[in-house]
Structure 1
Amino acid sequence: MSLPAAASWLHRDSRTGFEVSFFQGHEGGWRIGGATTAVEDGKSWFVEYSIAVDAAWHTRRAEISGRSATGSRRTVLESGGDGRWRVDGVPDPRLDGCFDVDLESSSMTNTLPVHRLGLAPHAAAEAPAVYVRADDLAVERLEQRYERIADREFAYTAPVFDFSCVLRYDEHLLVVDYPGIAVRQS
């Protein structure tokens, strides 16, 4: 599936800010570079990312840097595509079985599992992800679930946050409406 050269999202409701991503074919997969900045709960932050996915949409590498009032940080996530991860070069077994990276700061990262899973209509799947917090780049496991309820609509659930919504996507399977979080601008 093709992707546009760039996409952007306006954060809304839970935070105020903006995200922009750029997509480039890379070694049969994609390299996605972007940045997002926002104010959330009175705290300002900036996150920049470079994510490489293979042809099957398994995240292979993510370089994330960020800045907030607590300082500047950087982290590197690496996987052989087998669901095992190294965080800053150190194996992290808490993340075993995760194939996607989900950045708290990013709406774009919700496209990764949707592409990878390739769900048929009315099919559902668990999609645990390597979750990276916006404020301090802390890395943790995030249990989540996607169910394709229409051609471009997915019911999304993240139980740890007691959160569920219907995500709407475009023809490239990029999020166009993430209720309470962001709306696509371009």
Structure 2
Amino acid sequence: MTFAPPPKTAAWRHLDAQTGFEVVYFRPLGDWYHIEGCTTGVEEGRTWIVGYAIDVDPGWVTRRAEITGQSVDGSRRTTLEGDGDGHWRVDGVPAPHLDGCFDVDLESSAMTNAFPVHRMRLAVGAGSDAPAAYVRSLDLAVERLEQHYARVGGESYDYLSTGDGFSAQLVYDESGFVMDYPGIAVRAL
């Protein structure tokens, strides 16, 4: 499967689970991409802002993610570094609980659901597990998220978060970015 090049910018409007917005910019760095974005949200009466700068290699494996967060509790920052072989350091400290993860998934972001789709390039009818280094919105805590993607046809994928049982059918565009993430976000640009 081949994707069109990423757009220069994209945006999503959060739905249902939270109120907010996400804006992202894509910049090629040779055959890598540098992705910068910001999300804002109101969830259960709490507000937050999450900013991110993420580098992905030619296979769309996340190699570095610098994440900042702000809420009424103050400002936070965390850095994740992947070696490309599924091993991670979080703020410079080895994170063996993330072994086998190739993607960063930000709780606050619809854009990060592009990483496993780009990386795996599934054929129609194929599926695969895609555990991720999952970063929470409010406190930037880094957890392991067990998830599964299955390409059901065209640009549609069945998504399952096996830890909490959340599932949805995600619709992507020709560049491999989410257009519709039911109950979570819809593409605005």
TM-score range, shorter chain: over 0.9
**When the two structures are aligned, how many residues end up with a matched partner?**
186
Partner of 2:62: 59
User: 1:162 offset after TM fit, Å?
Assistant: 1.9
Q: Which residue, out of 47, 52, 74, partners 1:49?
A: 52
2:161 matched to which residue of 1? 158
Find the counterpart in structure 1 of residue 121 from structure 2: 118
1:148 to 151, 172, 184: 151
Counterpart AA for 2:11? S
TM-score normalized by structure 1? 0.99
Q: Once superposed, what is the RMSD of the aligned Cα atoms?
A: 0.7
Q: TM-score, normalised by structure 2?
A: 0.97
Q: Percent identity?
A: 57
3-state secondary structure, aligned to 1:9: strand
1:167-182 to structure 2, matched below 5 A, reads: 167-182=170-185
Runs of 5+ consecutive residues of structure 2 not aligned to the other structure: none
1:69 aligned to which of 67, 72, 76: 72
Once the two structures are superposed, what CA deviation does each residue of 1:128-186 show, in whole Å capped at 9, x if it has no partner?
Answer: 00000000000000000000001100000002222000000011010000000000000
Cα deviation for residue 26 of structure 1 reads 1.4
CA offsets 1:65-102 (integer angstroms, 9 cap, x no match): 00011211000000111100000000000000000000
Choose 145-154 or 158-167, whichever is displaced more.
158-167
